[in-house]
């Protein structure tokens, strides 16, 4: 007698309201199994989209079939099993190799014959077409909203999504601080860290309730044209209906400062060997470097020394400056732990010469 495994899936982002809940699928499959006299060994449930491969429970199902423990699959409809070509192909290949003997669906006919395999492959293709078409329709709908001046995603900080009329409204609690952050940054006397500190002091945090990441301050706030009335979507600009928080002149001035900061960062990195390679072990912040000079009267000479330190971008940190020579020593010690022994190194060279 064929041993069946019942697979029930409903994605959390399922667009099709007609798809049964997992609980309803289980009940349907139980009734169908009794009616068809099928032996269900196990129920596997999963709340994940089938648009892309990589479902944990589905992969477990495939492993059970490959191991010979299960010979049949019971599901409410073929689109519960696969909405992508890879997972659908795996099931058809298991049918071809004889490891999978049968598929049963209350809503779809299948027989393990060339005609049946053709029909199931068409069902998988149709399921894939559905999600592909859904994605295209969503993109088309977004572009239509943007042309009307409506923002289709979550509102940036300083704004709120008005669910009643699906518009973007100014956030009365945080908008004034976002606007002031632009004015402060435009003076050229404030860094990203200063802006982060200013926003945190005024209780303007990320959606997770944490201080806004420096990269988000640079890219999603200070470089976002949304704040002066334009919406950047996929690299294309659209005029928005929402009320701007700042003028275009203020935004353009901030972009000059952003570019200046970017050039400074690149020039700093080019002068120091280890920037971008290491992070602070205590707080996880990036490492920055400075050059200190010391004058020696006896030799009438000035000597430059390079020091590395924690940038403290993630908050308070107790680590102090460390000399470049000490950094080099620490890096050598790490590399030695993973480097090849001399004997293995010579053998490897001989092997390469062959």
In this predicted structure, what is the pLDDT of residue 354? 61
pLDDT the model gives residue 113? 94
Whether residue 79 sits in one domain with residue 179: no
Separation between Cα atoms, residue 47 and residue 86, nearest integer Å: 19
**The domain boundary residue, chosen from 116, 142, 168:** 142
pLDDT at residue 14, as a whole number:
53
Residue 348 in any domain: the answer is: no
Tokens 């990269």, residue?
215
72 and 107 both lie in a single domain: yes
Which residue segment(s) compose the domain that 167 sits in? 159-269
pLDDT digits (tens, 9 = 90+) for 231-289: 999 888 999 999 999 999 999 999 999 988 775 555 544 557 777 778 888 888 888 88
Tokens 């299948």 locate to 110
Residue 75 forms part of a structural domain: yes
**What's the token pair of residue 161?**
């999504």
How far is it, in rounded angstroms, from Cα 152 to Cα 145?
7
Does 262 share its domain with 323? Answer: no
| Cα within 13 Å of Cα(54), Cβ side | 3
What's the pLDDT at 345?
A: 66
The CB density around residue 196, as the number of other CB atoms within 10 Å, is 21
Q: CB of 286 within 8 A of CB of 313?
A: yes
Tally the residues of the chain: 354
| Together in a domain, 110 and 228 | no
Secondary structure (3-state) at 287:
strand
SS3 8: strand
- β 39-46/72-74 pair status: unpaired
Cβ atoms of residues 246 and 174 within 8 Å: no
Q: Where are the alpha helices (DSSP H) in the chain?
A: 22-36, 56-66, 78-81, 85-97, 114-147, 175-186, 192-201, 214-216, 248-271, 324-338, 342-353
Q: For residue 263, report the phi and psi dihedrals to the nearest 5 degrees.
A: -65, -40
Structural contact between residues 170 and 243, judged by C-beta atoms closer than 8 angstroms? yes
At residue 314, what are phi and psi to the nearest 5 degrees? -100, 10
Does residue 113 share a domain with residue 37? Answer: yes
* Any domain includes 349: no
Please report the pLDDT score of residue 268 as a whole number.
47
- Is 350 a domain residue? no
Q: Are residues 7 and 138 in the same domain?
A: yes
Q: What is the pLDDT of residues 175-205, one digit of tens each?
A: 999 999 999 999 998 988 899 999 999 999 9
Domain end call among 269, 297, 319: 269
What does the block give as tokens for 193?
């860290």
The Cα–Cα gap between 333 and 348 comes to 22
Q: DSSP assignment, residue 105? A: B
pLDDT value, residue 138: 80
Residue 149: inside a domain: no
Residues 192 and 128 in one domain: no
Cβ contacts of residue 58 below 8 Å, gap of 6+? Answer: 7, 9, 44, 46, 50, 81, 87
Pairing of strands 301-310, 322-323: antiparallel
| Rounded Cα–Cα distance for residues 305 and 293 (Å) | 6
Q: Examine the domain organization and report whether 17 and 138 are in the same domain.
A: yes
Structure tokens at 247: 């003028």
What φ, ψ does residue 108 adopt, rounded to 5°? Answer: -150, 135
Integer Cα distance of 280 and 126 in angstroms? 51
Write the CATH number for 137: 3.40.50.1390
Residues of the chain with pLDDT under 70: 12-19, 263-271, 339-340, 345, 348, 352, 354
pLDDT of res. 315: 76
Cβ–Cβ under 8 Å, residues 146 and 238? yes
Asked if residue 239 and residue 217 are part of one domain, the reply reads yes
What DSSP state is assigned to residue 313? T
Assess if residue 153 is contained within a domain.
no
């Amino acid at each position: 007698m064929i041993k069946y495994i019942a697979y029930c899936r409903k994605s959390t982002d399922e667009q099709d309201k007609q798809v049964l809940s997992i609980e309803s699928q289980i009940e349907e499959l139980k009734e169908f199994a009794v009616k068809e006299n099928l032996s269900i060994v196990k129920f596997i449930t999963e709340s994940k989209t089938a648009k892309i491969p990589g479902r944990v429970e589905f992969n477990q199902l495939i492993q059970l079939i490959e191991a010979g423990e299960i010979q049949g699959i019971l599901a409410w409809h073929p689109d519960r099993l696969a909405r992508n070509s890879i997972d659908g192909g795996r099931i058809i290949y298991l049918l071809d190799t004889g490891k999978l003997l049968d598929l049963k669906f209350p809503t779809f006919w299948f027989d393990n014959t060339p005609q049946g395999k053709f029909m199931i492959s068409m069902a998988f293709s149709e399921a894939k077409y559905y999600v592909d078409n859904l994605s295209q329709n969503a993109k088309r709908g977004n572009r239509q909203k943007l042309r009307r001046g409506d923002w289709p995603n979550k509102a940036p900080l300083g704004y709120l999504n008005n669910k009643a009329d699906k518009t973007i409204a100014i956030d009365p609690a945080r908008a004034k601080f976002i606007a002031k952050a632009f004015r402060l940054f435009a003076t050229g006397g404030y860094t990203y860290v200063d802006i982060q500190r200013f926003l945190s002091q005024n209780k303007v945090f990320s959606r997770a309730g944490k201080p806004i990441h420096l990269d988000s301050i640079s890219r999603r706030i200070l470089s976002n044209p949304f704040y002066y009335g334009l919406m950047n979507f996929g690299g294309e600009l659209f005029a928005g209906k929402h009320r701007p928080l700042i003028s275009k002149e203020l935004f353009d001035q901030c972009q000059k400062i952003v570019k200046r900061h970017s050039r400074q960062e690149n020039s700093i990195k080019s002068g120091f060997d280890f920037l971008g390679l290491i992070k602070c072990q205590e707080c996880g912040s990036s490492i920055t470097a400075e050059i200190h000079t010391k004058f020696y009267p006896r030799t009438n000479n000035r000597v430059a020394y390079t020091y590395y330190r924690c940038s403290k971008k993630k908050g308070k940190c107790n680590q102090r400056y460390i000399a470049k020579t000490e950094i080099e020593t620490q890096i050598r010690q790490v590399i030695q732990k993973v480097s090849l022994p001399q004997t293995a190194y010579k053998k490897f060279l001989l092997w390469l010469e062959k």
